[in-house]
Each structure stands twice: as C-alpha cells, then as structure tokens.
Amino acid sequence: MKKKSLIVIAALLVITAITTCIYLNSRSKTAEGDILLVSSGKEVTVHFNDLPLTDVSGETINKKGETKTIEGKGFPLSGIPSLAGVSDYSEMTVYADDEYNTSISKEELSGDDNAFLIEDEKGIRMVVFGGPADRAVKNVVRIEIN
C-alpha cells in the first residue's frame, strides 16, 4: 500500500511539473518596460519611457482606511486607448505579469485623471488615486481595451 501511494504521489508531481512548464511557456512575454495594448485582435507594444510622462502625486486608501501618498513620473490611463488607435471603448482591463488583473470603466476615467501608469523600482504599476489600494496592479505588462 505504501509503495502504491508513493507511485501515485510521484506521478502527480510529474504531471504538475509538466503542466506548470506548459503554462509558463504559453504566457505572453513582454520586454522590460514594454506594455502590450490589445484591442479587437490588434496588438500594439509601447515602451513606457517613450510616453510623455508627467509628475504624478496622489493618495490611495488601503483596507484599513489608511492613506498612502504615491509620487513619481506617470502616464494617465485615459490616454492609453488613443495609443492603440481606439476611440470607442467601454472599459480597460490591466494585467500584471502574473495575470492578476482589474478592470476600469471609461466612465471612471472621464473627468479628472485619477488612474495612472507609474514606474517604480519593481516595474510599471497602475494606481487609482482616491480609491482603494486593491485597484492597483503591479508589474503591468498588458492592457486589453474593450
């Protein structure tokens, strides 16, 4: 019985390793500092440092209600659709390199710019000022415009 259990465990470990390798190799890759913009099957790659960056400052709120000030050079998320040649959209979904994502609607982006892409020491991240910190996406690599 013990030998059968070890064989089953070994087989499951091999299957897990193979599945992990297939998954990691199938994920789209972007060069450091690049963001892939996807809309209606069309893909455009932009390099973050080639964008017209401006000074950005604002506060986010964590789940405890505490505020955190964020400052740096950034690009407004509302300007992303025009970079991809899109004028009509309803929302954007911002993806991290580990596939974590969050969506932000066109209505949320209208008016004052409160959502930005900012470069920090770990890569590019999206922040939404005045909103909950869980709307942030670290290591942004792809934005899908719908």
CATH number at residue 77: 3.90.420.10
With respect to residue 64, please indicate whether it lies within any of the assigned structural domains. Answer: yes
Domain-located, residue 86: yes
Record the pTM.
Answer: 0.81
| Structural domain contains residue 2 | no
Has residue 99 been placed in a domain? yes
Q: Domain count of the chain? A: 1
What is the predicted pLDDT for the residue at 76?
95
Distance of alpha carbon 112 from the chain centroid: 21
Residue 34 lies in a domain: yes
Q: Kindly provide the b/e burial profile for residues 22-49, where b requires at least 16 CB atoms within 10 angstroms of the residue's own CB.
A: eeeeeeeeeeeebbbbbbeeeebebebe
* pLDDT tens per residue across span 72-93: 999 999 999 999 999 899 999 9
Residue 122 lies in a domain: yes
Q: Which of 85, 105, 99, 102 is nearest to 43 (CA)?
A: 85
Domain boundaries, position 70: 30-145
Which segment of 4-13, 51-60, 98-107, 109-118 scores lowest on mean pLDDT?
Answer: 109-118
